[in-house]
Structures are given as C-alpha cells and as structure tokens.
Structure 1
Amino acid sequence: MEVILRTDIPKLGKAGDIVKVKDGYARNYLIPKGFAIPANQKNIKALEKQRKIILAKAERERKKLESLAEKLEGITLTIYRKKIDEERIYGSVSALDIVNALKEHGIELDKKYVDLEEPIKSLGSFEVPIKLSNDKVVNIKVEVLEEK
C-alpha cells in the first residue's frame, strides 16, 4: 500500500514523501495515529497543495529541535541514588529519571528522545545520547552519585 507521510518517520521517510509499506502497518499504525494518509489520486492532488504546509511544519519542528540541541550542549545532570555496595545502586536510573532531571533545568523533553539502551545501575559518570532526529544526536553527561 502506498501512503503519504504527514510527519517524519525514522527509517521510512520525511513528511510529504510517498512511500510503499505493508498493508497492516499502514492500516493499523500509520493511518490511525495520523502519521500518514492513503495515497490515492484525490490525496495526491491535495498533497501538491499541502506540500508547502507540510514542509513548513517540518522546518519549524527542525528549528525547534535545533534550539533544544543548543540548550542540551554541555549540560551535566546529577542524580542521587542509594548505594548497595561499592558501585551498585539501589534501583536504577531510567530515561524517565533523566527527563525529570532535565525538567528541573527548565528543558521539556519527551522520554522517547533519550536513547538509553538499558537503565544505569551503578555509580559513576555516563554519556547519555539524546536522539532528537535521524541526523541530530546530542550527548549529555549524567553523574550518578551516592545519596547521603
């Protein structure tokens, strides 16, 4: 099935692209979530008119992410956790904890952008990638210290 993307989707395409995807993926995910519309003659003609609007929206989103990347550059977060033994901590530091720590610095971010492969489970200093888009990744420093 061919669909017209309304938003940028990683590994699939950019807003305004006409892409071919499996029927189930389009019917059950892309179209109901509003990420795409079916690519029929009527929608393709409407796309030509809306292409400028879609591209302008994508450009605004890109600029917003660029300004967010500038805010994130060089930021260091300090998170306190109880210690079990030498290096291990009680519980872990997850993407949600990092997002909450960023809120305290005045930066609103969705946890889907935090590219943490697995939660942090030890004391120390860690580089955590924040993947804002396919081509923009910012690393922030997260220090996990013992709670006193």
Structure 2
Amino acid sequence: MDVILLERIPRLGQMGETVRVRDGYARNFLLPQGKALRANKTNLERFERERAQLEARNLERKTEAEGVAAKLDGQSLIMIRSAGETGQLYGSVSTRDIADGLDAAGFTVARNQVELTSPIKTIGLHDVDVRLHPEVEVKITVNVARSEDEAGRQAAGEDLSAPEQDIFEFEEDEELEDGEGEAEATDNTVDEDRV
C-alpha cells in the first residue's frame, strides 16, 4: 500500500514522502495513529493544502522535545530489583518500568518512546535510548542494582555483576625431608622374618 507520510518516521521516510509499506503496517499503525494518509489524488491535494500547518505542528513538537531532551540527556535512573549471586535478575526491566521510573523522576515519557532491543536481565549500568520525537533522541543510564548501596557503588565504577569470589591463601606444605618419607614407607611394610 502506498501512503503519504504526515511526519518523519525513522527507517521509513520524511514528511510528505510517498512510500510503499505493507498493508498491515499501514492499516494497523500508520493510518490509525495519524502518521500517514493513503496515497491517492484527493489525499495528495489535502496534504498540499495542510502542509504548512503540519510543518508548524511538527516544529512545535520538536522544539518541545528538545527542551525536555536538554534536561533528560545523561540522566541516571536507579532500578532496584531482586537478583541472584551471579547478577542475573529474577525478573527483568522493561520499557514500562523505565517509563514509570522516569515519570516518578518528573519526566513524562511514554513507554513506546523508550527503545530497548531486549529487556534488561542483569544488574549493572545499561545505556538506553529515549526517542522524544522522530528527530530528537537522548541517552539515559539505567542503574539496575539489588539495593541503593549497590547502586551507589556501581555508579562509582565498581563491577558488581560478577559473583564475589572468596580468596583463600594456601600455605605451601613443607617438603618432606628424604629421610622422613622413607621412614614412613618402611613402617607400613610387613617384616617377613617376624611372620
């Protein structure tokens, strides 16, 4: 299906471009979300009439997103989760958890604006992209730890994802003198003359 984009969509095209997309993507996402129009003569004329308004609205949203991005860029978010000794989480940290954490910190971010390739399943510092607008993206650091104390240690640079190993110092055994080793061996042998 050919559609006319009403805003810039990453990996698809710029505002005003006519692109070919799969029917399901157009019917289930682009058209209901108001991100595109079906490409036909009537809609093309409509787009040309409303182009100035659409560009003004896009510029307004971009300016607003850049204001939020200036405050949000480089922020660190602490997520406290239960984890095993190896640092593997018993659950995971998803886009919803990150969006809720940012909301609690005073930033209004929708979960579809948080971009994770896969859920976070280990403790440690994780860089996460937040796309506030198709043209505005920021990075935040998600600090996943078992406690506030651990989160502070991780932020200071300590690696807590590896299990703690007990270090035992073994003293080297004193080598047996030649005479002691042979004496023990002869004591354990049977004397044939006595039998």
2:119 aligns with: 119
CA RMSD of aligned residues (A): 2.3
- Equivalent-residue separation in structure 1 for 2:101 and 2:26 (angstroms): 37
1:7 aligns with: 7
- Equivalent-residue separation in structure 2 for 1:21 and 1:94 (angstroms): 32
Q: Which moved more, 1:65-74 or 1:1-10?
A: 1-10
Secondary structure in 2 aligned to 1:57? helix
Tell me how far 1:135 sits from its aligned partner: 4.6
User: What stretches of structure 1 move > 6 A for 4+ residues in a row?
Assistant: none
Tell me how far 1:25 sits from its aligned partner: 4.8
Please state if 1:28 is matched with 2:27: yes
- The residue identity in structure 1 corresponding to 2:94 is S
Aligned residues: 147
Tell me how far 1:66 sits from its aligned partner: 0.8
1:54 aligns with: 54
Change (3 A) 1:141 1:18: closer
- The residue identity in structure 2 corresponding to 1:106 is G
Q: Is contact 1:83–1:147 with CA below 8 Å preserved after alignment?
A: no
Tell me how far 1:26 sits from its aligned partner: 7.1
Structure 1: gaps of 5 or more residues: none
- The residue identity in structure 1 corresponding to 2:42 is K
Q: Identify, as 1 or 2, the structure richer in strand.
A: 1
Normalising by structure 1, we get a TM-score of 0.83
**Identity, % of aligned pairs?**
31
Normalising by structure 2, we get a TM-score of 0.65
1:68 aligns with: 68
Tell me how far 1:58 sits from its aligned partner: 0.9
